[in-house]
């Protein structure tokens, strides 16, 4: 009987010790809940592996709102989007500019799921009708009040990520 008790105690101690050194990652919908503002886009240098500002998306404005139960709303616009006045640019040049703004204005609503450090957005409504029903995969990392979202697809051959800061 003493041997069984001793073995049981030894097994419990060894299980406890092996789990102490392991870092448990728990990601729940509630950690995303709230409003986040886009700080910047970054691109990854394939040689050094370092992230730096993505020059073609400097100054973009964006908001992402998580409800904490699996729904997300996102809007990202070019830097000077809010200054565009379609009433003053009614000619063909203005219409080309308007088309450019529209094509760079991303708005969508999605259901989201978290699995480890991956987030899946299933688009339910979008300014781009072709996106409806699409599954967008994002790797993520949260450091304090900063959320890094890294799309699995590449932009113009480069890996990019978006840095979001939580609004208090």
Q: Where are the domains of the chain?
A: 24-166
Cross-strand bridge partners of residue 122: 111, 135
Taking Cα atoms as reference points, which of 144, 145, 146, 126 lies closest to residue 136? 126
Q: Quick one: fold of 24-166?
A: Lipocalin (2.40.128)
The DSSP letter of residue 119 is: E
Q: What is the pLDDT along the chain (168 residues), one digit of tens a residue?
A: 555 454 344 443 444 434 444 444 456 778 999 999 999 999 999 899 999 999 888 999 999 999 999 999 999 998 877 777 766 656 666 677 667 666 778 899 999 999 999 999 999 999 989 999 999 999 999 999 999 999 998 766 789 999 999 999
This prediction has a pTM of 0.75
pLDDT of 12 reads 39
């Amino acid at each position: 009987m003493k041997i069984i008790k001793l073995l049981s105690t030894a097994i419990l101690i060894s299980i406890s010790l092996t789990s102490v050194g392991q870092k448990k990652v728990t990601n729940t919908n509630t950690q995303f809940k709230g409003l986040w503002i886009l700080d910047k886009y970054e691109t990854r240098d394939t040689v050094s592996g370092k992230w730096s500002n993505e020059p073609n998306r400097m100054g973009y404005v964006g908001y992402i709102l998580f409800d904490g139960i699996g729904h997300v709303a996102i809007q990202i616009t070019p830097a000077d989007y809010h200054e565009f006045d379609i009433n003053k640019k009614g000619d063909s040049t203005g219409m080309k500019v308007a088309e450019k703004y529209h094509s760079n204005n991303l708005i969508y609503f999605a259901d989201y799921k978290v699995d480890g450090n991956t987030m899946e957005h299933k688009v339910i409504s979008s300014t781009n009708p072709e996106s409806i029903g699409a599954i967008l995969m994002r790797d993520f990392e949260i450091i304090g009040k900063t959320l890094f979202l890294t799309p699995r697809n590449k932009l113009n051959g480069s890996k990019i990520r978006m840095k979001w800061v939580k609004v208090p």
